[in-house]
Amino acid sequence: MADKCHLCLLGLIILSSLLTGTSGVNDTHMFISSGENVRLPCNNHLHDCKSTTWNYNNNNSASVELIGLGIKKKNTDRDERLSLGSDCSLIITNIIKEDYGFYTCRQYVNDKQQGTDARVYLHVLHVSSSSSQTEISAGSSVTLYCQLFSYTGVSCDDWIRSEGIQLFWVNQAGVNLTKSDSRYQISAPGHCIITLTTTLLNEDDSREWRCNITQGDQVKTSVTYTVKITGEKTISSISFRPL
């Protein structure tokens, strides 16, 4: 009886591995901040990139071919920011929030696909401000919106909750800004967005507020909002901090 149980368990392990292999063993998840550059891996095993095709998809559009057999397609909304690396990876410069989605690399020889798809899920962290002006008077209230743009086939909220991913606002010392701090109003309308509202003070000159995205204890990426004060004016800017 014990031998039969061991055989059943072995069979379940083999079946599980087979199912995993057909459901995305080559999938990669990458987190990036808007404004950064990124290199998406292709897992290419061929000698050159003339066999490489890159496709793109998200929940707002049909699949788009970005690279066809090593040649960059023109007239796409991002062709000037795309290039192929020597290893056939897809390089995207100056990431914008609309770049989120999944990218698929395929290798063809004599019109026959070689190997399996290498699919990269690109998750983009973006911060925006309630003020459209570059100069804000001291004493004004400002709201910062930190949002993760993501597409995995399910809603962003459902996916990051299942993966243990969270968004946090932290100060320049890396300390979490919590709802208990009376100076900051933190709100999370959903799992994929968190806002920070505060009134800017003169002593906020060069102060940083940073939005982190974490999975467990690991910070995946972050975006920093910095205030510069000149006289009675405050000048705000958004930047990213490479990890």
Beta bridge partners of 56: 64, 103
| Residue 175 DSSP class | P
- pTM, two decimal places: 0.81
Phi, psi of 85 (to 5 degrees): -80, 170
Give residue-wise pLDDT tens across range 198-221: 888 888 777 788 999 999 989 999
Element (H, E) at 21: helix 2-22
Q: In the chain, where does the domain assigned CATH 2.60.40.10 lie?
A: 26-124, 130-240
Distance CA 206, CA 226 (A): 6
* Span 71-122, pLDDT tens digits: 998 877 788 999 999 999 999 999 999 999 999 999 998 888 888 899 999 9
Its CATH architecture, for the domain 130-240, is: Sandwich (2.60)
Topology of the domain comprising 26-124: Immunoglobulin-like (2.60.40)
**Which tokens hold the place of 100?**
């989120």
Q: Is 196 helix (H, G, I), strand (E, B) or coil?
A: strand
Give the residue among 29, 40, 148 at the shortest CA–CA distance from 91. 40
